[in-house]
Amino acid sequence: MALIKTALTDSHLILSAQGMSDLLLPLKPVDGDLIVSTIWQDQCAARSVSPEADRWLSHFLKQDCRLVYQSDDSVRAVDPDYGRPGDRAAFSDGFPFLIISENSLVSLNAEMQLNLPMTRFRPNLVISGCPAYAEDSWREIRIGSIDFRLPKPCSRCAIPTIDPETAQTGKEPLRTLNRIRKWQNNVYFGQNALHNQSGMLKVGDTVQVLISGEKQPPV
């Protein structure tokens, strides 16, 4: 799946892959079949996108696949140990946002003597202008006009070991994270985040640290 590229227009999601014709999918598909999807230990309602999408993905991945989306009337709640009533995630990992600072990656790359790109770690909010791992101590921040809570660090699975350009796997960054960022039998890089209100974010927005606390992880 790392070799499937995506692009967005105002009205469509475009999937592309080597040897495949581009697939255009409407951003607001007509409701398809209702399917129960499992994400980690969560089960939630999903709807199929189209038979055409299923065929395209099944052909490229060489296994039976279905492409699904979460409709507006389906709610996947955030783990109540870390969220508030009303906090929700979609088909993301467990939280709607993942925050990593640019200098955290600079520091990790220096430890590895590599130059891995930020895309290895899949954050949707990247912060510049702060020290490495400054985000470990942030508890509440404001980006533009939106307030965020950072309830827990992000434990890392094997996905960052996959090169998104080639789909080849290696030992890094987990080998180095296991040495310098291990805590409670997990390795951590980045901070999960929840938003308090809706709004618009744009590149270059100012980040204000509202509340700080002890570092998570404390390493």
Mean pLDDT of the region 57-78: 92
Q: How far is CA 167 from CA 4, 70, 161, 163, in A?
A: 10, 27, 9, 5
Q: How far is CA 81 from CA 75, 77, 145, in A?
A: 17, 11, 26
Amino acid at 195: H
Nearest-CA neighbor of 78 among 97, 61, 60?
Answer: 97
Question: pLDDT for 155-178, tens place per residue?
Answer: 999 999 999 999 999 999 999 999
Q: What is the pLDDT of residue 143?
A: 98
Residue 115: which pLDDT band, with cuts at 50, 70 and 90? very high
92 with 159: CB under 8 angstroms? no
Q: What is the pLDDT of residue 75?
A: 85
Instruction: Please say if the pLDDT value at position 41 is more than 90.
Output: no
Element (DSSP H or E) covering residue 193: strand 186-195
- Rounded to whole angstroms, how far apart are CA atoms 29 and 161? 33
Q: What is the pLDDT of residue 159?
A: 95
- Rounded to whole angstroms, how far apart are CA atoms 95 and 92? 7
Q: What is the pTM of this model?
A: 0.91
Domains of the chain plus CATH, in order, are 5-74 (no CATH), 88-212 (2.40.33.20)
End-to-end CA distance of the chain: 33
Q: Which residues contact 182 (CB under 8 A, 6 or more apart)?
A: 217, 219
- Rounded to whole angstroms, how far apart are CA atoms 74 and 24? 24
Q: What is the pLDDT of residue 129?
A: 97
Instruction: Please say if the pLDDT value at position 44 is more than 90.
Output: no
Which residues is 204 bridged to in the sheet? none
Mean pLDDT of the region 16-44: 90
Q: How far is CA 207 from CA 52, 57, 62, 138, 189, in A?
A: 42, 39, 44, 11, 19
Is the model more confident about 31 or about 106?
Answer: 106
